[in-house]
Structure 1
């Protein structure tokens, strides 16, 4: 295989210095237009390709940013990618990407590999169960003073920038909408205690129930995976209760879609016979049948802000870590309405 042409190869071909070639290929006006054109033509003829890796070593900046998402089986998390990629492309940065499969060991391995390959910064949606020790502990000394921004899920007391959704506010908006419509029998589906989003949303639900003077019992709170199957199966259990709920508040749109599918098997009309809400407002929420009432997480604002914070850290900013909370929006569609007269009746 022929040797890859270098700046010196071009310089020898044109009869100029290597520094002149470097400037000309960056279209620097210090090199005359005629000479720039000769150099650029020679580079094209020789098949010269800019060696970003070598340039990065000289600058101490690889030009790449890493993004690690927790779970691509949930389309919600992919929505961040488009907003971040556009901003990094604008900044002439290339993205390294990892799908952690909600697995701590995969996340930890990627973080180390990212550092080994010289990534200049990292945006992370932490996998379930991620702790401060996983980001600040002795096993990750390579992250000290490293540009890192957490999005979507929070990790308490960590020394990195975080940009997250106001999950407690989102549940308040949903609950108050349902309560104002007349609902008094609620069920909560999903979540758990392994992520900040699950903890914050459930805590807010319990607080709203308490403020309304409504009891929270073992028939009210139901934990499970963020999956269609969980939502589908849970409607079966809820309908079997002596007094089924009239409103089902789901941790995520994915669970809510599963509930909607089960409604049709039972001849129930969402929004008329029973109210169902999601959270995240994924793109599909507006196109379910009927369209899903949900809380819109501003993935655009979170992704863009996280990108800006990371680029600023990579440029050398050293202000104390920030925790920014982005307010969501309630989107009322057709899966919510007043409770059916006399409560839920199976058809």
Structure 2
């Protein structure tokens, strides 16, 4: 079962605006200074988490700015006091021994507020152009499974010996071990069968991309019902939110964002060409029109404050604990959500607990 009260997080703007790149109300800005101020404001407003996605080059347009996830996360860990910092990692970019040490250091800097989000990559040029190579879909997951096995054991402070197809680690131990808990949390993304098997075996949380409630229920029933060791799997959902005082105002803003997103058609087409066609994430996205990344508005969190709050509670009842949210304009709508929607969600969930 999820926690009695939903938790809310924000996507850091690591590659600028989430719905449309050519928005006069939100000029493109993926700078460190903007992301720093955004996360600090999110913490002040009461958000619980931030997700810092990892790309070495901008997935929309290589000429645009791209925040570096791990150095930025270390800085955020030092500047914040309460918010959870979840940083994505593509296993091919870091050896597991190196990454485990980095994760343990950021965990220590944050005082026990760090987590990694394991993703197995979909953007071909990012790896291929670096000479790393872009392996076939299931092969990437086989690599990721070995990789997270090594990282997990090292983050636990274990003296690690591992010999597999991809890694040969002998008598390795990292210190200091976690001073605050057993180890940092492990979030896993991806909805293919290899991804589902991996999260059931190795994850603490499964991040589900934004999609309608019946589809989310089916995913939770499938993966949540699989055999695993340790505590029950927990679930998070990505979603783009448009909440306004009236339904019509929310729909008007959605239409506005669709019109702006149409200006990015050439960039989206290029991104599609660079995407692994076996990535289930993008097959899911093709089912319906949406704005925002990682499912965006497909989750249906568009409407009046009351409508959005009720839909969040319905997802929560289905098993979603953490809602990782996007907005545009980000700062203004993030504040609106914190002030208008979160109190309604708290009120509705309190009734469920009575």
Give TM-score scaled by structure 1 length.
Answer: 0.29
- Larger RCO, structures 1/2 (Cα 8 Å, 6+ apart): 2
